[in-house]
Structure 1
Amino acid sequence: MKPVTVQPTRLYCLLGITLWLLCTTRALAYEETRQSARQTLEQGNAVAAYQLMKAEEMGHSGDPEFDYWLGVFALRAGNVSHALIALDRVLLTEPEHAGARMERVAALLQLDQRRAAEEEIERLEALSPPPEAQAAIRRFKAVIEQRRRGDNDPQHNLSLGVAFGYDSNPQRYHSDIALDPLPAPLRNVVDQLIESDVLDLDDPNQLDDATFASRSSLYHQLQASYRGRFPIDEHSRWLLDATAQTQRYMSDAAEEIDLTLLQLAPAYQRELSNGHTWTLQPSGLQGWGGAKQDPLLTRWGLNGRYAYTVGTKSQLTWELSVQRNNFDNALSDYDAGRLGVKLTTPLTHINLRWQAQLSKEWAHGTGNQQRAGGDLNHWQVGMGVDVPIGERQLIRGNMGYHERNYQDDVNNITSRYQPTAREEQIWEARLSWLYPLNRHWLVETSANYEQRDATIEFYDSTRLQTQIGVRYLF
């Protein structure tokens, strides 16, 4: 029996028919998915329509028509990043795909990347679009111009707030003041106890018992803040931040931690041609502390920030600052230099913030030993997350870790007068809930926890603060 032989021509035909059937089957399946997605979108469920197309991405990615519709549905569902990825795949193979460029303009405007959107519009106009596309382009240009006019109009934001809270361990001032836990009234008490032989210099734990017995207290806080924006031209503006805050403890034992702050921070901001922004901001702060609100701190600072977009919508900000801090009644004067970086990443349903900072503080005054430990190296890392709940509520969480290394040995009663290195590790966490009652009233509750571990036991502490407040936004 002779073997059956297949002519090469017939073999090629069979292979061609097989491939055609496979491609036709895939195309029919894709067409059914697209039609189903369009019907779902017309019914008002953009997310479900996008999920239908996304499920087919593995098999059809790279097909310009599929990628175009995937980008369309992703954009309608609010997933701007995925939309841009799909539309970019279309333009890699078909640079003159006007529909993909039109959708890309809409996506860039959702991210408020106006310069990139204008560049895309210029490419669209070079393709001689039909009248309907020209009308859409005019609408995009009107949106860009409206936003630009909004940026060039003066803006004023003023808020007044009142809050009530509980502090389990009011041993320190607000972290912005960064005083060691011996303000002047307590320092005088310690000196008197030592002179009267009530305190044993060899037992610093007595100092804890005498000056830092539990003084948990309720407190109330008043705050007013103003933020103004005054455009100079299309790319530059003046900014002004002003804050006044006062906090009073209700327990007599905690009155020496009462605090009032007044801060003024003007700034100059300019947008560069590549969409990057730099800001230069001097600032002045005056603080008053204690039951009598005696002058506490005078601070002068200069801050520079450079911000730009990373990827499609994340923002990276570099920050460099210097400060001079002069305390009126505490031996903690210091100059500071800080370098920090912050990355803000908006995701589909949450926003993430990552930050890191290195700082150096130089003690100054009548001697280098005025602050326990002298000069300070300080670094910190942290992250935050914003989780919207519905259309009006927001849950905000922050976590951070600090490490503080003092450069001189401590040699006083807290170390039993034995030269001891002072280092601190600080863990902190904050959880807040924000709820706007309407466009003017905002309710905020928060809980803040801090754990401080030091090589000198005297400086160990644990602190829990809870607060509820309301603000009126003008």
Structure 2
Amino acid sequence: MALAAGLVLQAPAPLLAQQADPGQADALYQSLAPQEADRAGDPDFDYALAIAAIDSGHYGAAIIALQRVLAMQPNNAEARAELARAYAMAGDIDTARAEFATVVDDPSLPDPVRQRFTGFVRQFDRQIAGGGSDVSGYFDARAGHDSNINAATDLTQITIPLFAFLGAGNLGPGARAQDDEFYELTGGVSGVTAISRQDRLFGSLLGNYRDNFDSSAFDQASLTGTAGYAHSFANRDVISLSGQVQRFWLDDDGYRDSYGAIAQYTAMMAQGRAITISAQYNRLDFNGQPLLDADRYAVALGYVTSNLSATVQAGKEETVRQAGDAFSHWFAGASVGGEYPVSERVAVQGGVAFDMRRYDTADALFLVERSDERLDAQLGVKLALTGNLYFQPRATYTRNWSNIALYDYDRYTLTAGIRLEF
């Protein structure tokens, strides 16, 4: 039974009712609620109504019903424990802690259940004090095949309008699609620490290294650091401000530096859902390619559940120098992804994303304003080998449509890897 702020209550029936399927619980609540006017005050009815209300997200109604039970049966430890759960689910951790503490003092409570409830009280105490600190991370190692390591066209010849009188020209190896086998290492660590009851500092460091077996020219690596501050409101909504820096390498040489800031507001909803609104700014500096240097602005709206996340975003990337304005562009896109368990140890993962880019001025060689649309899709399986070690085969596909043939390409990868989470 998931409580506010990630607390999990797992007590044996009947001292805490087992959470029902949300759809079934809501149907039961809708059938009981119309009877409340006639049957309120009957402890058995009020208790059944309260459990259905909690499990379907009607926490206020559950609190009122359980208070009626306790008015008639003040020593009902089961009802008081459920009242504590209702308060916690509603976000009132102080009252939930007080109600659980009262249950713990009940002399009729079996010792194993008393110990469990004492643990809940300690969890609430930590949350009231700010939640303490936590560190988590992961490491992923995988290998596979990439049909287009340089994201290039599969054409061998192309006509450049500016030099059309010369006819079609041959593309060099670096400008044509190349396939290769590769291995990739990805890892990250993140931490959060409370500085007050509602305020936290957080940070993360993420790294990636990819090595192609036969071609080093398109080997890639990146390192991204993020640090910020988050404030939780009384209704459990969260606002955060963070700074971010990134270094990207290509063929072991520095290729691009990025630094910027992110502001995000997260509105919490029932049953673990949330809506996020964010704004982000990044400065992009390309080593040895000053015409590509740019300021990037983006806004995004997201929706998250326990199994699904969806995002829409839009923005502008504006080159710093006017001479590079052909690289300036507007962009917009949408993505959706999820993970769905099919058994205790196996889950299916998948996602799809689409974005479009419209460039500001005509390309100097092709004499048209570049226009791109890109589709990305992935499908994989997550197999639990142990409690925190997973085997993950995965397939991805990318298709980029462009009105300039040089940038029109498709690509797929097939990989298998091991992921360790801690």
State TM-score, norm by structure 2. Answer: 0.75
How far apart in 1 are the matches of 2:264 and 2:231? Answer: 11
Alignment correspondent of 1:341 = 301
1:272 paired to 2:225: no
Shift of 1:132: 5.6
The one-letter code matched in structure 1 to 2:299 is: L
Partners of 1:50 and 1:220 in 2: CA distance: 43
Q: CA deviation at 1:405?
A: 0.9
- Of 264, 280, 287, the residue aligned with 1:321 is 280
Task: Find the counterpart in structure 2 of residue 145 from structure 1.
Answer: 124
Partner of 2:92: 116
Distance 2:233 2:25 in 1: 39
Does the 8 A contact of 1:91 with 1:97 survive in 2?
A: no
Worse overlay, 281-290 or 392-401: 392-401
Q: What are the superposed Cα offsets for residues 191-218 of structure 1, whole Å, 9 maximum, x if unpaired?
A: xx99xx9x96558864557544341111
- Cα 1:225–1:356 change in 2 (3 A) is same
Aligned to 2:324: 370
Give the distance between the partners of 2:303 and 2:107, measured in 1 at CA. Answer: 37
What is the aligned counterpart of 1:359 among 315, 326, 332?
A: 315
Secondary structure at the counterpart of residue 411 of structure 1: coil
Correspondence for 1:282: 243
Where 2:85 maps in the other structure, the secondary structure is: helix
For the residue of structure 2 that corresponds to 1:370, the secondary structure is helix
Q: CA offset at residue 148 of structure 1?
A: 1.6
Pairing of 1:5-404 with structure 2 (within 5 A): 61-64=33-36, 68-69=47-48, 72=51, 80=55, 82=56, 84-85=57-58, 96=68, 98=70, 103=82, 105-106=84-85, 109=88, 115-118=91-94, 142=121, 144-145=123-124, 148=127, 152-172=131-151, 201=164, 206=169, 208=171, 211-252=174-215, 255-290=216-251, 293-330=252-289, 331-346=291-306, 351-364=307-320, 367-370=321-324, 373-404=326-357
**How far is the alpha carbon of 1:297 from its aligned partner?**
0.8
Corresponding residue number in structure 2 for 1:424: 372
Where 1:162 maps in the other structure, the secondary structure is strand
- Structure 2 spans left out of the alignment, 5+ residues: 1-12, 40-44, 71-77
- Is the radius of gyration larger for structure 1 or structure 2? 1
Shift in Å, 1:119 = 5.2
Counterpart of 1:394 in structure 2: which amino acid?
A
SS at match of 1:69: helix
- Counterpart residue identity of residue 317, structure 1: T
Q: CA offset at residue 118 of structure 1?
A: 4.0
Conserved? CA contact 2:129–2:196, under 8 Å:
no
The CA deviation string for residues 351-386 of structure 1, in whole angstroms up to 9 with x for no partner, is 22121111111112xx42426x33211111121222
Whether the aligned pair in 1 keeps the contact of 2:144 and 2:415 (CA below 8 Å) is yes
SS at match of 1:171: coil
Answering whether residue 412 of structure 2 is matched by residue 464 of structure 1, we say yes
Does the CA-based 8 Å contact 2:279-2:298 persist in structure 1?
A: yes
Partner of 1:145, secondary structure, is helix
Q: 1:143 to 1:392 in 2, by over 3 A?
A: farther
Conserved 8 A contact 2:388-2:421: yes
Whole-angstrom CA distance in 1 between matches of 2:190 and 2:21: 42
Distance 1:469 1:168, change over 3 A: same
Q: Is contact 1:54–1:70 with CA below 8 Å preserved after alignment?
A: no
> What is the SS of the residue equivalent to 1:295?
strand
Q: Distance in 2 between matches of 1:352 and 1:374?
A: 34
Task: State the distance in 1 between where 2:66 and 2:83 align.
Answer: 14
CA RMSD of aligned residues (A): 4.1
Distance (whole Å) between structure 1 residues aligned to residue 69 and residue 263 of structure 2: 42
* Letter of the 2:292 counterpart: S
- Structure 1, unmatched stretches of 5+, are 1-40, 173-180, 183-189
Aligned to 1:62, the other structure's residue is in SS state helix
State how far apart, in whole Å, the 1-side matches of 2:380 and 2:21 are: 34
Distance 2:417 2:185 in 1: 9
Could you tell me whether the CA contact under 8 Å between 2:224 and 2:247 is conserved in 1?
yes
Residues 63/298 of structure 1: CA separation in 2 closer, same or farther (3 Å cut) = same
Could you tell me how far apart the structure 2 residues matched to 1:431 and 1:449 are?
9
Q: Deviations over 1:177-234 (max 9, x none)?
A: xxxx69xxxxxxx9xx99xx9x965588645575443411111112332112232222
The separation in 2 between residues aligned to 1:468 and 1:447, in whole angstroms, is 9
> What is the CA distance between 1:329 and its match in structure 2?
3.5
Structure 1 counterpart SS, 2:121: helix
Change (3 A) 1:439 1:312: closer
One-letter code aligned to 2:212: Y
CA displacement, residues 321-352 of structure 1 (integer Å, 9 cap, x when unaligned): 11011111344221111111211123xxxx22
Higher helix share goes to which structure?
1
The structure richer in strand per residue is 2
Is the contact between residue 230 and residue 237 of structure 1 (CA under 8 Å) also seen in structure 2?
A: yes
> Which letter does structure 1 place at the counterpart of 2:238?
T
Q: 2:360 is matched by which residue type in structure 1? A: Q
Contact 2:84/2:95 (8 A) holds in 1? no
**Aligned partner of 2:338: which letter?**
V
Q: Is residue 368–residue 374 contact of structure 1 (8 Å, CA) maintained in 2?
A: no
- More displaced stretch, 460-469 vs 91-100: 91-100
* CA distance 1:235–1:150, change in 2 (3 Å): closer
Contact 1:376–1:405 under 8 Å retained in 2: yes
4+ residue segments displaced more than 6 Å = 45-58, 90-95, 133-136
- Paired residues in the alignment total 383
